[in-house]
Amino acid sequence: MQVLVAVSSRHGGTRELGDQVAQALAARGHEVDQIEPDDVEHVHRYDAVVLGTSVYVGRAGLDLKDLVERQGALLRDRPVWLFWSGPATDEPARVGTPEDVEQVAREVRATATRVFGGRVQPEALSITERSLVALVPVEPGDHRDLSAAYAWGEEIASALT
Ligand SMILES: Cc1cc2nc3c(=O)[nH]c(=O)nc-3n(C[C@H](O)[C@H](O)[C@H](O)COP(=O)(O)O)c2cc1C
């Protein structure tokens, strides 16, 4: 099957989770295109879609939300898996899904929504981001489980075949 993977990522951590999902899908024989949300045009070409986003101060990426606004009808018409990354914990599944992400899930009628831990590299943050850190329970470190992302990609691959 033809699968689109589009991930909103400011500092690359969420993109690498998307890379794992894409690799798992490709290893199971699916044709995968990884495209930046802003560059996605031809959703009609795909049998299924994986969307991902980092979350900053409770918000999903604007580029992802723009994509959903532009291509909502086509996305609703095919299976969409949605993931988000953010929580600074090794048990991200215990963290509630932000309302903004829930809204994206509703708009695309997501088959499933999955959370992965996040990665915060203080030296990579912009001045604005540094000033926002005090508002959210964010800690430096890498809480991403890349093998869990790969395994999730395998689950999606199985669901598609
Ligand atoms: C200023 C700031 C705000 C954040 N807000 C949230 C948040 O509200 N919820 C959350 O789960 N993670 C939050 N995070 C953590 C990021 O979502 C996490 O680091 C994510 O993995 C970053 O992905 P990226 O490298 O793709 O940008 C925040 C991080 C920063 C620096």
pTM of the model: 0.97
Angle at 147 between CA 151 and CA 152, to 5 degrees: 25
Ligand 1 centre to CA of 59 (Å) is 9
The Cα-based distances of 66 to 51, 53, 145 in angstroms read 12, 12, 27
Number of neighbouring beta carbons within 10 Å of residue 64: 26
Asked whether the predicted pLDDT for residue 134 surpasses 90, the reply is no
Provide the β-strand partners of residue 31: 2
- State the pLDDT confidence band at 30, using cuts at 50, 70 and 90: very high
Structural domains of the chain sorted by starting position, each given as residue range(s) with its CATH number in brackets: 2-160 (3.40.50.360)
Q: What is the mean pLDDT of residues 49-57?
A: 98
Please tell me if the CB atom of residue 138 comes closer than 6 angstroms to any atom of ligand 1: yes
Nearest atom in ligand 1 to 16's CA? 26
The overall average pLDDT reported for the chain is: 96
Range with the poorest average pLDDT among 9-13, 75-79, 119-123, 130-134? 130-134
Please tell me if the CB atom of residue 14 comes closer than 6 angstroms to any atom of ligand 1: yes
Number of Cα atoms under 13 Å in the Cβ half of residue 35: 17
Range with the poorest average pLDDT among 9-13, 18-22, 130-134? 130-134
Ligand 1 centre to CA of 45 (Å) is 32
In this prediction, residue 133 carries a pLDDT of 86
DSSP reduced 3-state for 62: helix
Q: What is the mean pLDDT of residues 57-62?
A: 97
Asked whether the predicted pLDDT for residue 137 surpasses 90, the reply is no
C-alpha R_g of the chain: 15
